[in-house]
């Protein structure tokens, strides 16, 4: 059983969320509290596997409660937000404080979106329960030796023209770290696919933009990619580029249930730029983008995978490393410096 603590100030919504979660046979709500102070105390007493956290609560708000929990008795925290503008900034502050995921508060019974949004909440709780806050693992020596033996440096005659980055669980903070350290004169466009809950991408881009010297925007179909600009894939659209250096968004089928997918972006970049590109795969569950990073490296492109120690979940980059797709394995804090160096 997955033990869940629900923190929500509204009695009605608290009961609503509890009913959704307890309708699943593998989930048990072990506590439901109305403010941040009670959430901190309940985590210490009940030791839940996951906490669903409201942002706006009396006394200790969701951001502060998240920070205190992560500093005392770390547990995976899922922010349940209304996905409206006044909650966006607080939601991403909670992510900075250690929350692993955020989902839209499910619409009420009878609403067209209720079933999908309730499923998204349940899925997020199940996935986060497996993380156990920070999952660490070391690469077997044989893998480390194989990766080192096959490392390829990009041909200096082919200067990179684009950076493509993929991320999932834990990605927002890793991206904030990387993009925040890129200088204002960084010469390449940066294309980003981040697996994110529906409705949050504009707030995500705004949050990144506030801490970045480069302009960060949600990508628009047909716009030209410009040096020193960051483009984030929008909700429910695959993102790629065409032969003329323009963003291409499409509604082709989801890949392993994901749209946008990192794999789609990496394939598109491989076709249009080949070795004149840099691929970066960050923390996240699953294997999205791992095969694409291998393809980029095979073409002679520079490739970077986030290391296990700095990843919240080392699934995506870990698979790429195992398959020999990572030319460089780095902590998030070192990736910006490597990008500046590779960009010349």
Q: What is the pLDDT of residues 298-330, one digit of tens each?
A: 999 999 999 999 999 999 999 999 999 999 999
pLDDT at 88: 79
58: how many CB neighbours lie within 10 A of its CB?
Answer: 10
pLDDT digits (tens, 9 = 90+) for 283-293: 999 999 999 99
Which of the following is catalytic: 34, 81, 124, 168? 168
Secondary structure, 3-state, 272-337: HHCCCCEEEECCECCCCCHHHHHHHHHCCCEEEEECCCCCCCEHHHHHHHHCCCCCEEECHHHHHH
The whole-number pLDDT of residue 129 equals: 92
Parse the chain into domains and list their residue ranges: 2-129, 141-343
Per-residue model confidence as pLDDT tens digits over 19-37: 999 999 999 999 999 999 9
For residue 145, pLDDT over 70 is answered with no
Instruction: Give the N- to C-terminal CA distance of the chain in Å, as an integer.
Output: 52
Question: In Å, how far are 144, 263, 315 from 286, measured between CA atoms?
Answer: 20, 12, 5
Cα 137 from Cα 307, distance rounded (Å): 10
Which pLDDT value is given to residue 84? 67
Confidence of residue 139 (pLDDT cuts 50, 70, 90): very low
Is residue 137 over pLDDT 50?
Answer: no
Given a cut of 80, whether residue 158 has pLDDT beyond it is no
C-beta of residue 143 within 8 angstroms of C-beta of residue 102: no
Confidence band of 81 (pLDDT split at 50, 70, 90): confident
What CATH architecture does domain 2-129 belong to? 3-Layer(aba) Sandwich (3.40)
What pLDDT digit, counting tens, does each position of 99-114 carry? 999 999 998 988 999 9
185 labelled catalytic: no
Regarding beta strands 278-281 and 163-167, do their DSSP bridges make them parallel or antiparallel, or are they unpaired? parallel
* Cis peptide bond prior to 260, omega within 30° of 0: yes
Local confidence band at 87 (pLDDT 50, 70, 90 cut-offs):
confident
* Angle separating helix axes 85-97 and 201-210, nearest 10 degrees: 60
**Residue of 9, 49, 61, 288 with catalytic role:** 288
Is residue 61 part of the annotated active site? The answer reads no
Q: Is the pLDDT of residue 263 over 60?
A: yes
Pick the more confident residue, 265 or 89. 265
**Beta-sheet strand order (sheet of 328-330):** 216-218, 230-232, 190-194, 163-167, 278-281, 302-306, 328-330
44 vs 148: which has the higher pLDDT: 44
List the one residue out of 4, 199, 11, 233 whose CA is nearest residue 105: 199
Report the distance separating Cα 147 and Cα 341, nearest Å: 21
- pLDDT attached to residue 141: 38
Is 264 labeled as catalytic in the residue annotation?
no
Identical fold, 2-129 and 141-343: yes
SS3 118: helix
Confidence at residue 344, expressed as pLDDT on a 0 to 100 scale:
81
CATH architecture assignment, domain 141-343: 3-Layer(aba) Sandwich (3.40)
If you average pLDDT over every residue of the chain, what do you get?
90
Given the residues 49, 54, 129, 195, select the one marked as catalytic: 195
Q: What is the DSSP string of 211-278?
A: T-SS-EEE--TTPBP-TT-EEE--TT-EEEE-TTSBEEEE-PPPBTTBSS-HHHHHHHHHHHHTTS-E
Percent of the chain residues topping a pLDDT of 70: 91
């Amino acid at each position: 059983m997955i033990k869940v603590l629900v923190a929500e100030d509204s009695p009605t919504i608290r009961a609503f969320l509890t009913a959704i979660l307890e309708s699943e046979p593998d989930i048990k709500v072990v506590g439901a509290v109305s403010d941040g102070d009670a959430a901190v105390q309940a985590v210490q007493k009940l030791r839940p596997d996951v906490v669903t956290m409201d942002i706006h609560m009396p006394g200790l708000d969701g951001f502060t409660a998240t920070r205190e929990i992560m500093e005392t008795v770390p547990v995976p925290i899922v922010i349940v937000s209304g996905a409206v503008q006044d909650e966006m900034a607080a939601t991403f502050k909670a992510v900075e404080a250690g929350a692993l995921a955020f989902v839209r508060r499910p619409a009420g019974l009878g609403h067209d979106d209720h079933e999908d949004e309730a499923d998204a909440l349940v899925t997020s709780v199940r996935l986060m329960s497996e993380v156990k806050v920070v999952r660490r693992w070391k690469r077997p020596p044989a893998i480390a030796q194989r990766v080192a033996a096959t490392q390829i440096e990009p041909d200096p005659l082919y200067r990179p023209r684009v950076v493509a980055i993929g991320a999932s669980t834990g990605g927002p903070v890793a991206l904030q770290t990387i993009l925040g350290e890129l200088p204002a004169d960084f010469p390449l466009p940066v294309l980003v696919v981040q697996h994110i809950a529906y409705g949050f991408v504009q707030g995500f881009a705004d949050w990144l933009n506030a801490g970045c010297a480069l302009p960060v925007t949600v990508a628009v179909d047909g716009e030209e990619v410009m040096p020193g600009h960051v483009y984030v894939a929008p909700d429910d659209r695959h993102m790629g580029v065409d032969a003329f250096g323009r963003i291409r968004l499409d509604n082709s089928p989801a890949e392993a249930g994901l749209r946008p997918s990192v794999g789609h972006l990496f394939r598109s970049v491989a076709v249009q730029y080949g070795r004149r590109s840099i691929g970066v795969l960050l923390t996240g569950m699953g294997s999205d983008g791992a095969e694409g990073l291998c393809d980029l490296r095979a073409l002679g492109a520079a490739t970077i995978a986030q290391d296990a120690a700095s990843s919240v979940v080392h699934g995506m980059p870990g698979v790429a490393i195992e398959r020999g797709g990572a030319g460089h394995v780095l902590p998030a804090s070192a990736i910006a410096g490597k990008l500046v160096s590779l960009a010349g």
